[in-house]
């Protein structure tokens, strides 16, 4: 009887471990380094990594001095605990002015070949100017920000150490981009399984979802491929028949690019709700049901978006898989959080 009792407990433990997954350890990456299995992070020739550049960039990222009324900063819409995104459909800028698209995560932006959902900005350095000038974001002017910083001895000293010049537009854009390039995430339960470090890091359901995700049947990896779960192409994933936002067409002027958006990363996607360029979907389950149904047939809808007829179990497993891309060593890394 006693043996039977122990056997029962053992079976329960085994069942628990295989179903719930083991929490992977929290491991912080050294700054500027890429996670196992990822390409190296490229720092441009005129903006090599240094810790003084990074420190200045981090200080600017968390400083509301960047906004015209000193009320908000980059951190307001790119919140570290939400994987550097926010939980709004559209973010609010200075004077509570509502934006026009959903704030994306900054997870692994170092790897993006171009920026914003329409891909209209070629470098991270140049992207900094967009939120600074947008009326419904920081509503400011970089020259005025530089003037303010020149009056603050700590910033003058930091700019000198980092770039050997006064705080100016060059320094502000370069330093912020340096900090952003270190927002690197690759230590999720999925990564522990994928690199063979901890096979029990994912639940059985998540592993089934992973098989489905990488299978031809779902077609997800026609777009969400590679270590960052995006091929960075511009696609229409069939949200509507008619879109309010013209997307990539804004940049190219081509009808064939209407309502196409940059394929987003799926890393930390559990934390970045609501979803899509317009924040129109609240949950991952809603997203997976959308793909299962096959899209609403916009004229530019990708041929890879088709009805999948997923079962309820498939849907639940796929959601579990997407949740296994959440990297706690990214969102709790004190290096990246506000000091
Ligand atoms: C008021 C909210 C808000 C603030 C403040 C803000 N952003 Fe953003 N950010 C957004 C939104 C919304 C987008 C998406 C814009 C688009 O693509 O249409 C975005 C996009 C980005 C992107 C592009 C990401 C990608 O996947 O291509 C980067 C990088 C970025 N922001 C960095 C910053 C930095 C650096 C600051 C501070 C200087 C900042 N943001 C301030 C809302 C904000
Ligand atoms: C044809 C390319 C394509 C395919 C195939 C595809 N996606 Fe997407 N996915 C996109 C695009 C583009 C977006 C963003 C659309 C937008 O911004 O409105 C997106 C958005 C998402 C989002 C929301 C991410 C966010 O941060 O808002 C999730 C989750 C997602 N896809 C999961 C999947 C899954 C799971 C599959 C397979 C069942 C899949 N995708 C197949 C192109 C694709």
Domain ranges of the chain: 45-184, 189-329
Of 222, 224, 248, the residue with max ligand 2 atoms within 8 A of its CB, to mutate for a pocket test, comes to: 224
* Residue 238 near residue 298 (C-beta atoms within 8 A): yes
DSSP classification of residue 228: T
Tokens for 66?
């960047």
Of all residues in the chain, what percent carry a pLDDT higher than 90?
90
Q: 181 by DSSP, 3-state: which?
A: coil
| Topology classification of domain 45-184 | Cytochrome Bc1 Complex; Chain D, domain 2 (1.10.760)
What is the tens place of the pLDDT at every residue in 100-141? 999 999 999 999 999 999 999 999 999 999 999 999 999 999
Report phi then psi at 322, rounded to 5. -60, -35
Residue 18, pLDDT score? 47
The dihedral of CA 167, 173, 179, 182: what is its sign?
Answer: negative
Higher pLDDT, 76 or 29: 76
Residue 1 has pLDDT above 70, yes or no: no
Q: Which residues line ligand 2 (CB under 6 A)?
A: 117, 218-220, 222-224, 235, 237, 239, 261, 263-264, 266, 269, 272, 275-277, 284, 287-288, 291, 302, 304-305, 318, 322
What is the tens place of the pLDDT at every residue in 59-77? 999 999 999 999 999 999 9
Of all residues in the chain, what percent carry a pLDDT higher than 70?
94
Confidence of residue 10 (pLDDT cuts 50, 70, 90): very low
Residue 15 has pLDDT above 80, yes or no: no
Mean pLDDT of all residues in the chain?
94
CATH 3.65.10.10 is the classification of domain 189-329: no
Distance from the alpha carbon of residue 164 to the mean position of ligand 1, in angstroms: 28
Quote the pTM value. 0.94
Confidence of residue 27 (pLDDT cuts 50, 70, 90): confident
Residue 11, pLDDT score? 43
Q: Which atom of ligand 1 is nearest to the CA of 132?
A: 38
Domains 45-184 and 189-329 share a fold: yes
* Residue 114 near residue 122 (C-beta atoms within 8 A): yes
**If you average pLDDT over residues 249-273, what whole number do you get?**
98
């Amino acid at each position: 009887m006693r043996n039977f009792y122990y056997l029962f407990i053992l079976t329960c433990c085994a069942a628990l471990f295989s179903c719930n997954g083991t929490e992977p350890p929290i491991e912080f990456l050294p700054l500027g380094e890429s996670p196992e299995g990822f390409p190296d992070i490229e720092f441009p020739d005129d903006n090599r990594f240094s810790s003084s550049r990074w420190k200045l960039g981090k200080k600017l990222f968390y400083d509301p001095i960047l906004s015209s009324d000193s009320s908000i900063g980059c951190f307001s819409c790119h919140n570290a605990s939400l994987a550097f995104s926010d939980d709004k459909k559209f973010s609010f800028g200075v004077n509570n002015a509502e934006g026009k698209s959903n704030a994306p995560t900054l997870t692994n932006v170092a790897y993006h070949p171009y920026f914003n959902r329409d891909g209209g900005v070629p470098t991270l350095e140049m992207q900094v100017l967009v939120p600074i000038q947008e009326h419904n974001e920081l509503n400011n002017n970089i020259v005025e920000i530089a003037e303010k910083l020149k009056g603050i001895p700590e910033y003058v000293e930091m700019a000198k150490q980092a770039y050997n010049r006064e705080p100016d537009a060059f320094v502000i854009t370069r330093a912020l981009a340096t900090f952003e390039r270190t927002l690197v995430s690759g230590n999720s339960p999925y990564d522990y399984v994928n690199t063979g470090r901890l096979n029990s890091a994912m639940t059985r359901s998540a592993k089934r979802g992973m098989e489905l995700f990488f299978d031809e049947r779902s077609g997800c990896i026609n777009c969400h491929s590679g270590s960052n779960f995006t091929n960075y192409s511009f696609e229409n994933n069939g949200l509507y028949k008619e879109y309010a936002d013209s997307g990539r067409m804004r940049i190219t002027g081509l009808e064939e690019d209407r309502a196409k958006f940059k394929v987003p990363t799926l890393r930390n996607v559990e934390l970045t709700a609501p979803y899509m360029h317009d924040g129109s979907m609240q949950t991952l389950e809603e997203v997976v049901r959308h793909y299962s149904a096959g899209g609403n047939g916009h004229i530019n809808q990708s041929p890879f978006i088709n009805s999948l007829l997923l079962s309820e179990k498939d849907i639940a497993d796929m959601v579990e898989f997407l949740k296994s891309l959440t990297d706690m060593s990214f969102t709790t890394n004190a290096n990246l959080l506000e000091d």
